[in-house]
Every structure is written in C-alpha cells, then in structure tokens.
Amino acid sequence: MSKIPVGVIGATGAVGQRFISLLAHHPWFEITDLLASERSAGRRYGDVVNWILSDPLPARIANLTVQRADAGAARARVLFSALPASEARTLEPLFASRGHYIFSNASAFRMAEDVPLVITEVNPDHLDMIPLQQARRGWEGFIVCNANCTATHLVGALHPLHQAFGVKKAFVATLQAASGAGYPGIPSMDLIDNIVPHSYGEEEKVETEPRKIMGTFANGQFQFAEMTLTAHCHRVPVLDGHTEAVSVALARETTREAIIDAFRSYRGLPQELGLPSAPDPVVALVEGMHRPQPRLDRMAGGGMATVVGRIRPCNLLDWRFSLLGHNTIRGAAGGSILNAELMAHWGRLSP
Amino acid sequence: MSKIPVGVIGATGAVGQRFISLLAHHPWFEITDLLASERSAGRRYGDVVNWILSDPLPARIANLTVQRADAGAARARVLFSALPASEARTLEPLFASRGHYIFSNASAFRMAEDVPLVITEVNPDHLDMIPLQQARRGWEGFIVCNANCTATHLVGALHPLHQAFGVKKAFVATLQAASGAGYPGIPSMDLIDNIVPHSYGEEEKVETEPRKIMGTFANGQFQFAEMTLTAHCHRVPVLDGHTEAVSVALARETTREAIIDAFRSYRGLPQELGLPSAPDPVVALVEGMHRPQPRLDRMAGGGMATVVGRIRPCNLLDWRFSLLGHNTIRGAAGGSILNAELMAHWGRLSP
Amino acid sequence: MSKIPVGVIGATGAVGQRFISLLAHHPWFEITDLLASERSAGRRYGDVVNWILSDPLPARIANLTVQRADAGAARARVLFSALPASEARTLEPLFASRGHYIFSNASAFRMAEDVPLVITEVNPDHLDMIPLQQARRGWEGFIVCNANCTATHLVGALHPLHQAFGVKKAFVATLQAASGAGYPGIPSMDLIDNIVPHSYGEEEKVETEPRKIMGTFANGQFQFAEMTLTAHCHRVPVLDGHTEAVSVALARETTREAIIDAFRSYRGLPQELGLPSAPDPVVALVEGMHRPQPRLDRMAGGGMATVVGRIRPCNLLDWRFSLLGHNTIRGAAGGSILNAELMAHWGRLSP
Amino acid sequence: MSKIPVGVIGATGAVGQRFISLLAHHPWFEITDLLASERSAGRRYGDVVNWILSDPLPARIANLTVQRADAGAARARVLFSALPASEARTLEPLFASRGHYIFSNASAFRMAEDVPLVITEVNPDHLDMIPLQQARRGWEGFIVCNANCTATHLVGALHPLHQAFGVKKAFVATLQAASGAGYPGIPSMDLIDNIVPHSYGEEEKVETEPRKIMGTFANGQFQFAEMTLTAHCHRVPVLDGHTEAVSVALARETTREAIIDAFRSYRGLPQELGLPSAPDPVVALVEGMHRPQPRLDRMAGGGMATVVGRIRPCNLLDWRFSLLGHNTIRGAAGGSILNAELMAHWGRLSP
C-alpha cells in the first residue's frame, strides 16, 4: 500500500526537526512537504536548516525544497505543525479551512472548546469532536492538538492511577530540559552552573491541560476532570527529558503493589491496535532511589514511554513518585504522530 | 582583645575548606588547629589539601601543620567539625568529653535528644540544653549542631511565615547543588546532561530537622513543631546554591502583601546583636518570575541570607514560592560559625 | 577632585553590564550616560536591562534613564563602547566626530591604520597615534580600541617572553567561555554535553591583533611584529574565563627558570603609575599540572591578570604552557577602562 | 557456526560496561565470563553493577554470576581487559600464561617491546609479534593492546595523511570527554563551569603511542615512525567524544582537495574483510566551520569512525583540521573488539 503523504509546518525549528527525524522512516507516512518562513522558502532544506539532532538528516529530506508556510498551501493533506503559538494562531486555521488535517504541537488551540487535545492512549474518543469542529467552523480539514510536553508525561503517569484509584489532587515540581524551549531557546549563560524557574504560563498549562485530557467528551462538549493540580516548573541543564516529582491524593486507598500493578498493566488503544509508534509498556517502571534519570531513561520505548520510579508514601497527600519522559519525542512530535496514526488506522485521513 | 583560638576537624574536605575560608579573616576567631585523617597528619596543610574554592587559600593557613583528628586532641577549645557522619559519631563525643566545644556540621547528633540543632535566628534558646547535655553525658565540652543545608534554608523561609501565620503543612521539591555532596562527591558523568534524584535519607532530614528547629525547648526537652513536611529532592548540575520550590498551608488567612512584609521584617538575635556573620536582611526578596537563580542570587548576604521569590497562590495549599540559599556557606560552615558567634557573645566559650 | 563623567554605549548587553559593574564604584570615573537602542531609550535602566551578572546592579545606575545611542549625543565626553561591530562601524565615528573620546571594545576599528589597539602594559606609546587620527579624520574626539578577549590574554603571556627572549612563532588552541559571545549568545543546546569549534573569523583576530599590539609605532605608522601565529579556537561550557594552550618558538635559548622569572618580573606603565585597575602581578603564576582552571583562577588580580601555568618544554617548538584570563573583565570592559585610566592620568581626557 | 565464548575482565567499570554493551549482540562473540574484584564475585552482575550507559543492560548478561578476576581463571579463552593499569600489570600476564588471549584496553603493556599495539586498519601486521611474544614469555596465550583513546583517533586522522603525504610533525590540542576517566572518574565540581588541563602522563601517551602504531614491524622488532608530536590535553564537560585540534607538517606538498581525497578513500583490512565492527567510511568528513561537535558527530560509524572537519592551511605548519571520535567505543572497547574480530577471521583464536 502506498504511504500517506505528509508535510511539516515549521520544519526548520527544533520540533520540526524532530518531526522529520521520526517521520523519515515511518512505515505509513512519507514526507512530501516542508514548510517554513519566507526566508527559507525556495531553498534546499539541507542548505537552510541548522540540524541539531544527533540522528543524521536523511539525504532524501535534505534535498526537498522548502515551501512558504504563510501561503497556506501544501501538496500533502496531512500536516504536522511545529509552529510557534503566535504563528499557529493564524496559519493553522488557514490550512484547516483549505481542507488540511492539522496535527499540531502548538499551544494556540489546545484549550479551544472544539479542538481535541489528545494523548492517544488516554482520550482517543475526544477525536469525535472533529465533525463538530468542522461543522461549527465550516472547515473540511481539522485541527487536533497534542499536549504540552510536561503535561503529556504527567498525564502519562496520572491516568493509570486515575483509572484505577481516582486522582483527586496532585502536586508536581518539574526539572525540564533545554530542548523544550526550542532552538536557540535558552541562552547557555543561563544554564551553566544555574537553573532557571520557568514562566507562570508553563505552570498554568501543566495545571490545566491534564484536566481537559482526562476529562470526558459527551454531548458535543469536553468536561474537565475534577482534579486539583499545582505546579512548580524549572528549567535545568539537561538536553532532553523532563523529570517531574509528583505527590498525589487518591479517591481510594491502595497499596504500593497495587500502584505498581496499575502502571504495569496500563495499556491503551495504540497498544491494542499495534500502532507503529505505540510504546509497550506505556509506563516503564525503574527501580532504585536514584532513578529515573534523563540521560539513562529518556529513550525508554523509543522516547514514547513515560518512565516512573521512586514510588513511596507521601507525608502530605497519599503517594509520591518521580516520572520522566522525552519532551520532544512523546512530549511533542511523537505524540502528534501517534494521534495521526490512530486517525489513519481508522481511515479518517482520506486524501 | 585577643581572638578566640579555633580549630577545624575534617579540614581538608569541601566543608572544611569553607570553614577555613570563612574563618581566615574572622574578627573574633583565629584558626590555630587543622585536624584531618592520619594520612595528612604532620604535613603542611597547603601540601595536602586539594583546594577547590575560588577564594585563594590564605598563606598563613597553608603553612599550618595538620594534626591527626583521631587523637582527640587540639590546642583550641572551640572546634568546628566538618567530619563525615560516620566519623563524627565517635570523634565528636571524644572531643566533647575532653572539654572541647564542638560546633558540628555533621548529621550524626542532629536528632539526639540532648543536642541543640540551631539556626541562630530561629532557636537560640535551644542552646540552653547544653548544661543538661553536659550533666547527662558527664562532659565539660559540648556538641551543638547546625542543620542540613536544604533544611536550613527551608527553615529560613518557613520560620518568618510560621511566626506570622502558623505553618501547618509544606511541600518542598529541591534542586540541590553538587557541592552539597562534598568532594569528590558526585561523579561528573552523573551531572552532564543529567539530574539525579537524591537519596531518601536526604528527604527524611528535610522533613524532620525543621520540626526540631522550629519546635520548643521547655522542661529540658525539645518538643517538635506540629507541622507536616514532605520533600522531593534532586541533585542538579549547579556548583553552589540549593533551590527549593515550596507550597505551604497556613493556620491563618493572609495576603501576598502580608507575606512579603513578614519576610521583609524578619530579624533575629544575630541581627539585633550585630554578630559578625549575621546577614541583614535575613530573607532577601527577589522579583520576577525567573528568580531566584543560583548563579545570580546565592551570594546574597555574603551567602548567609535565604533568597525568596515567586510568591503566588497555590491551587492545592495556600501559597507557593521559590527559595534559594548557599549550601556550603549558610547551609554548612557559615551556619555553624554564626552559632559560635552567639555563644562567644554570651561569654559561653570560656577558654 | 570631582570624578570624570563617563557613558556606556550598548549599556544593556553583556559587555555593557560588565562596564557598568566595573565603573560603578570607580575612584576616577562616574557613570552619567547609558546609551542603548531605541527600544530601551527613555526608560529606567533597571527596567530594561536583563542583568546577568552575579554582582548586583547598583541602585543609582538602575535609576538612570537610558538614552538613544543612535542620536550620537551624550553629556559625558568619555564614552565606553560595548557596541556590536556592525553598529560600532557607524556610531563610533559619529561620536568621535562630535568630540567624544571613545574607548571601544568593538572589533570594527581595531585594525584601522590610524586607530591604536592598546593593552596598557604593552603598547601605551601607540596612543600617540591619536593626534594623527584626529588630524586625518578631522575629529576633536578619538577612538581607542582594546583587543579581542582571546588575543588580549595571549599577548598578556607572550609579551613578557617577547621582551625577554623574542617570540618567533606561537601555536595556540583555545577553550573559550560562553560569555565571550555575549547574551543571549550561544544557545544552551549547543553547550550541554558539547563543545563547538569557533568561527574562522575569531581565529584570524587571534592571529593578527597580537602582532599589531606587540609591533611598533614610529613615523606615524604601526609596524606589525614579525611573528607567526596560528590558532585553533573552541567554545566550551564555561561561563567566564578563556583557557589557551600555547607552544612558542623563541629567538634566544632559555631555561624554565628564566621564563618563570620573565613572567614574575613583568610590569608595565599601569603598575608603575599605580592606575586603579592595574593588576599586580600582571602575570599570575600557578603551580600544578591541573592548573590554571577557569573556575579557580579567572578572578586573579580582580579578573585583570593573565594566569600562566604548566610551563614545560615543547617537542615541536621550544616551550609550551597554559594561560587563562577573564574574558569580560581584562579581555573586554576592564581592558578599555585601564586604557582610559592611563589617558586620564596623562590629562588627555580634557572635558 | 557457534559463537566464540569471550569474557570481560573489569566488567563493572565504565569501559567494562562498554565492552558488554558492544558484545551483547555480537554476531561472532558471546559473553560467558564476567570478571571483577573480589567484592563483586559470586553475585549476579545486575546486582553489583552501577550501569551508567543509556543502552539498557541486557537481561541475559544481568543474570550472569561475576567471577573473581584475581583467580586468573575463566571459561572463555578470549578475554577483553578493561582493568586499570595497575591491576593489568599483574593479572594480564597471569591470564596469558594460562593460555588466555587478552585483548587489552589497559595501558600497562602498550609500550612493551613484544606487545602489539594495534589499530586494526593501521598496523594489523604488528599482530605477527604474537608468536615471538609467546616464545619469549613462554605463554600459550598472548596480550594485544589497543591504544589510548586520544591517540587512537589522532592516528585515525594522521594515518591517511601519513600514507598519502608523509607526516613529519603534528601539534595536537585536545578537549577530552569525562568518560575517558572512567566512573566515578572526574568529580562533578571539577567540570561545572570549568575545564581541567589533563595530566602530563596523558600527553606523553598521545605523543608516543601513535609513533609505535604507525611504525614498522620487521625482524621481530617494532620501529617507531619518525615523526614529532606535541600534545596539550584538557578535560571538558562532555560525556563522550574527544575533540582534537591538529596542525601537521607533511613531507610532500599537497592541496586541500588531495587531503580530502586521502581521507575519503582511506580503507583498511577491516573494511576489505567486512569485519562486523568495521566502520565504513573509516574517516567521516563533516562540513562547516562549527563541526565536528561531540554531541552531533560522536556516533558516526556507530562510534567506530574518526570524524574530520575544518581542513584549512596552517600559518605555522602546513595544514590544520579538527577531529573527533568516540572515546569509549572506537577509543576503547570497540577498538579491542575489532582487533579480536581480525584474529578470529584469521582463525587465530583457537579454543
């Protein structure tokens, strides 16, 4: 069967590069379009990109000619968006109105009331909002968002507990990698012998997005999960991999063994269907009081798993643990690609 | 007036060096004794120490001859202990039994029921345990401890709030500097492109020591403060300066302004008496959502202040904020020296 | 005696901040003017600057109102320029033509045939070019440059050897700090678990500027020193302090002892005159095969000295050694200030 | 065909782990023996090792029982040695005398006059020393060494030039990764905001080993290459991947194009024979003035290639360039394994 042509908008940035790296050898998708700013348009991708990943840039991709993103046109109907929020706000609707299927890593529409914010294992049913979105907005295309990188992995660990025991409250403190801010992103002078508290905006995303994702979709509406989250976010001198320290209050009493079992047995639709990018296990458990660690654990499940360790009782809430996840794979490009894989499996990416 | 002779036990280690650096030009104390392991004994200090501080090693100190710590003897009656806990357990009582006044940074006796664990601004009255300690143990000397580096600065921020509003609960997540583990301490391979969750033992200290320090001393007993603390600790690639993200539940409702005022107006006995190492202000407030930062703020008050910023409401408890403090100055050697200064001021360091 | 009013052009950048930090408590100079881009003009300096130094921003300076640099006007006649080369190219002549004395850290005019490129200890006589520059250009003001940060410290170590033994050839490999690229400068993703070879342009400066500085000024012309230099430059994850590994071929045979003596006895006019920013010793010698190190040694002489160690024979040329120097103090702002101090001492900064 | 059983001596250290990681899925070799210190002996490998690689420890290996290295016995005849030099000095001869084939990464016997120091592409003929070594020492086994990590990649770049144009002199300055010092190795306090000049011993290895490797083997003797090398070595905050800045004087004049061609066309016996670990190309050329970089380029050829870039004329010698190579793969375990592959191909590893 021939592959589905796809494009990447914002192809030269850090997340755009990660999309390309993950899509370059994808069994179902084939990159046909690379869209970027006017400055790069009309030139060979390999000549304009400052490739910052350690995986080499595939030669076929390097030879593609970059197109202008702001023209709102692309050959491929399926487009992955790695745009900054400010540009996504105008360009993503433009593409969707012209029939494109947008799988977006941008924050611009994540909280829009008719846009599904999806982690494929957690709330694939939210994708049923798409026809309503199309009807309401008069689009033939659509926008589907993946979550903020930190929120993604927080949900990755909270959802198994929520399903099994009900999560009432969670406290999270983060140690986030530099790549989360893109490239050039954080100046090196800020991360040599230093850490930087993150912006309040980041904390708000971490406190809000999980409640939409773990909430319900019924009667054409998203209902947020009843759950109180509070976040303290920090940027640390790590390249890839966000670490999060979490304390949770659960609705039902449980044991450490039952928690471990909930993590271990957790599976979702992507695993059932065997989607190409689906990690298995979804939650990778690590042992020892000094794990997880970004350098050692971020590539669990090819960067698509959420790693959990240090499960122990909390003095204040019920339980505490550490989690870690790759922020530009599962937390960005990989999460979007998994969403597209499910839609493709369902046959909802008609050319 | 002539200076009080003092010695440093464990003089070649990271905290020992910090003691020396802070004492080298002290107005009241003069280093006469440097004690270390048998390997260094009998040799010139400058020849055996691998000096790791950016302040240069003073020539006078470099020329002192190192003595064996395990002989349990020193010219100076006042000794600052930078011993590891395992050695402190046997050596500190030996010195105290021989009449020495031990100001210890070791954890060995911090939780002993007759040993004052003192932050000079917070619980100077706990020093009144000393005569009871001496009577019970039959010592002419004594042991006074300063707190764990992370606990010290946590109390530095919690005590002003506790005095003003009553602290009921606190959640703390830490990003601790490498120097807290001494030298050689953490291998560089663990802190390049990486962070490491700390040991559970560290977390227990952070949850327990503050309750002894902010507790009361009455009828010859320490009563721990009624307060629930829970800690998530991490080691990060920072040289000096522990950052802590804190959420607190308070006994009385208050406002952001009142909290700021509580921090700003906070003073203790060291400030009243103008002790040489007393910082003023005790709590240094910083503005902006990206502060405090270790590289920029750790030297506030000469490394003796606790820096607080990012004060904002917490979704889960009442308020949250970030704090930062120098871990080997206020959090180790400097804290011990300030305790000794108070005792000297009171005339309780008779030769 | 009242202080000489001075201004800083490019006041909000990394080098601009260093100028301010070094001038804030200067015994002879007083900051009256802060000039920056139009965006900052008219606003309080403390409100527009993202202060990145660990020395706190003095309150008096924070309260100054920023002026537009491109207006080419300032109250102070003496101006220190921290402009990027591209802006220096047009603005510095504009100010000089209006009578301002420009002490510039920019590279724009360093190699101009009528502009003195001065390290105060090495070639103060080059300042006699100024009247010729003024005559030729029709200026009442002038431009005096300090050297590239890496070149400055290379000369700091080569000049004592050149005076004593004659330097014929030198090979230099550098490990340069992030602050040399300004702020935001190098992205953190480039300096986590990584080093970056520097640009060829930097290498050319290091190979050329020292020959102008160690050359002669006679008959109204600069004659470059006969000396072959070759440089390999790298950026490393260090905040401040450039390390340079040097091999030299000397005109006269010598011994390790004579070399050490040449470094130790090296003094210049700033030391003779006791200028406020003059380090003494100029070359700080360190011992041990693992020194100099940036974190331990960069603040030698208040950041104004060049640190030298590891002096040993070279298999290929005659001798090899390591040097280290602070790149934004002696290598940038401090070097310019020392030049201005000499001119002030000579009474050549008439109001 | 069944695999050749092999063992790793010093299995718990950093290089030992790298041996295991590279051998775990090797097509010709199968790990049967893990030898370490008495402390670990008798225990499950997975329980005693502090696994520091990001590749996961294979379960089969984790379940092997560690044996005492100092007993001098192992089931496998082929042993890879990751011992520290001091232990290698006594243990490697003990094993060799008992008939074991030792492929050693230790420095203990590299310069011994009857021990081949081999880079498989460069001097496979030196392996013909083995029968002489056996005769002279009365061993049924043998010791074959791979080179120091920095020397390995220096030869990786110099040998193609030496073959094509003759290398007379080379100057090399290194920026070496932390993993080169093993684990725990360099303390993190030494590599945060810092670099450390390396020991003179390391420089001597870099200046000497290449001359043995590029020398000849004739009449039962090694003759060193006539070539003058001088090295300046530094440790930098990089996890893996040594960078080296090199200037060379060549016997014959040449052009940049001819040099590039010499690198590009360079192949050796491992490539001809298609040995499993042989990289192809051997020298990976990169473009751009900011490459090679450790994070981006160290995994070229699976970590077995030497990466070269920045080829340009040198002011002092003839040409200069930058090279980079993985220090624990090609520079340590991988180099040894490639040597063993050649011997296995030749049928010289009889059971």
Can you tell me the distance from the alpha carbon of D351 to that of D344, in angstroms, rounded to the nearest whole number?
A: 11
Q: What ranges in chain D are assigned the alpha helix state H?
A: 14-23, 45-48, 59-62, 85-97, 130-137, 149-165, 200-213, 256-264, 269-273, 294-297, 334-345
Task: Find the largest Cα–Cα distance for chain D.
Answer: 60
The separation between CA B25 and the C-alpha centre of its own chain, rounded to angstroms, equals 20
Q: Rounded distance, CA A202 to CA A204, Å?
A: 5
Chain D contact residues (CB < 8 Å to C)? 169, 171, 173, 175, 190, 192-197, 199-200, 207, 228-230, 232, 234, 236-239, 243, 245, 247, 289-296, 309-310, 312, 314-317, 320, 322
Helix pair A149-165, A200-213: axis angle to 10 deg = 40
Would you state the pLDDT for residue D351?
Answer: 85
- C-alpha span between D274 and D267 (Å, rounded): 11
What is the overall mean pLDDT for chain D?
97
Q: State the ipTM, two decimals.
A: 0.96
Chain B CA closest to residue D185 = B187
**Chain C interface, Cβ < 8 Å to D:** 169, 171, 173, 175, 190, 192-197, 199-200, 207, 228-230, 232, 234, 236-239, 243, 245, 247, 289-296, 309-310, 312, 314-317, 320, 322
Asked if residue D175 lies in contact with residue D234, where contact means CB atoms within 8 angstroms, the answer is yes
CB atoms within 10 A of CB B200: 13
Name chain A's partners: 3 or more CB pairs within 8 A: B, C, D
Tell me if C229 and D293 make a contact (CB, 8 A cut-off): no
In the three-class reduction of DSSP (H, G, I as helix; E, B as strand; rest coil), residue B15 is classed as helix
Contact flag A230-B314 (C-beta cutoff 8 Å): yes
- What pLDDT score was predicted for residue C249? 98
Identify all chain D residues contacting C289, using CB atoms and an 8 Å cutoff.
Answer: 197, 199-200
CA dihedral sign of residues A333, A335, A341, A343: negative
User: Chain A: nearest CA to D334, how far in angstroms?
Assistant: 20
H or E element at residue C89: helix C85-97
Contact residues on chain D for B186, CB-CB shorter than 8 A: 187-189
Residue B143 token pair? 């042991």
- For residue B351, the model assigns a pLDDT of 85
| HSE, side-chain direction, 13 A CA sphere, residue B275 | 26
What residues form DSSP beta bridges with C171?
C230, C247
Closest residue on chain D to B185 (Cα): D187
| List of domains in chain A | 4-148+333-345 (3.40.50.720), 149-327 (3.30.360.10)
Q: What are phi and psi of D64, to 5 degrees?
A: -70, 150
- Tens of each residue's pLDDT in chain C, 351 residues: 699 999 999 999 999 999 999 999 999 999 999 999 999 999 999 999 999 999 999 999 999 999 999 999 999 999 999 999 999 999 999 999 999 999 999 999 999 999 999 999 999 999 999 999 999 999 999 999 999 999 999 999 999 999 999 999 999 999 999 999 999 999 999 999 999 999 889 999 999 999 999 999 999 999 999 999 999 999 999 999 999 999 999 999 999 999 999 999 999 999 999 999 999 999 999 999 999 999 999 999 999 999 999 999 999 999 999 999 999 999 999 999 999 999 999 999 988
DSSP conformation class of B187: B
Is D304 in contact with D241 (CB distance < 8 Å)?
A: no
Bridge partners (DSSP) listed for residue A196: A235
Q: In this model, does residue B1 exceed pLDDT 80?
A: no
d(CA B277, CA B25): 12
Could you tell me which chains touch chain C, where touching means 3 or more CB pairs under 8 A? A, B, D
CA neighbor of B176 nearest in space, from B161, B207, B154:
B154
Residue A187, CA distances (Å) to A54, A196, B179, C189 in order: 20, 11, 24, 8
Give one DSSP letter per residue of C234-280, joined into a string. Answer: EE-S-SS-EEEEEEEEESS---HHHHHHHHHH---HHHHHT-TT--S
Per cent of chain B over pLDDT 70 is 100
List all residues 6 or more positions away from B181 whose beta carbon is below 8 Å from its beta carbon: B235
- Type of residue at A319: W
Chain B residues within 8 A of D52 when measuring between CB atoms: 189-190
Give the whole-angstrom CA distance, residue C20 versus residue C11: 8
The tens digit of pLDDT for each residue in D250-276 reads 999 999 999 999 999 999 999 999 999
Contact: D185, B185; criterion CB under 8 Å: no
Cβ neighbours of residue D71 closer than 8 Å, sequence gap 6 or more: none
Contacts of A295 in chain D (CB under 8 A): 54, 239
* Helix orientation angle between A14-23 and A334-345, rounded to the nearest 10 degrees: 40
Q: What is the pLDDT of residues D156-190, one digit of tens each?
A: 999 999 999 999 999 999 999 999 999 999 999 99
Of D53, D192, D295, the CB nearest to A54: D295
CA triplet D295, D297, D299: central angle to 5 degrees?
95
| % pLDDT > 90, chain D | 98
For position B179, what pLDDT does the model report?
A: 96
**Phi-psi label, residue B182: left if phi above 0, alpha if psi -120 to 50, beta otherwise:** left
Instruction: Determine the Cα–Cα distance for residues C250 and C230; give it in Å rounded to an integer.
Output: 15
Active-site residue, selected from the candidate residues B145, B149, B233, B326: B149
What residues of A are annotated to the active site?
149, 242
**CB within 8 Å: A295 and D193:** no
Contact (CB, 8 A) for B144 and B127: yes
Paired residues of B103 in beta bridges: B80, B144
User: pLDDT tens across D192-231, in order?
Assistant: 999 999 988 999 999 999 999 999 999 999 999 999 999 9
Question: Is B149 one of the catalytic residues?
Answer: yes
Closest to B143 measured CA to CA, from B126, B168, B167, B156: B126
| Tens digit of each residue's pLDDT (9 = 90 or more) over D95-135 | 999 999 999 999 999 999 999 999 999 999 999 999 999 99
Block mean pLDDT (10 aa), chain A, length 351 = 94 97 98 96 97 94 97 96 97 98 98 98 98 98 98 98 98 97 96 95 97 98 98 98 98 98 98 98 96 98 98 98 98 98 97 85
Which of C185, C192, C193 minimises the CB distance to A187? Answer: C185
Treating both helix axes as pointing N-terminal to C-terminal, what angle do A149-165 and A256-265 enclose, rounded to 10 degrees? Answer: 120
CB D194 within 8 A of CB C238: yes
Given D149, D153, D162, D326, the catalytic residue: D149
pLDDT at D1: 64
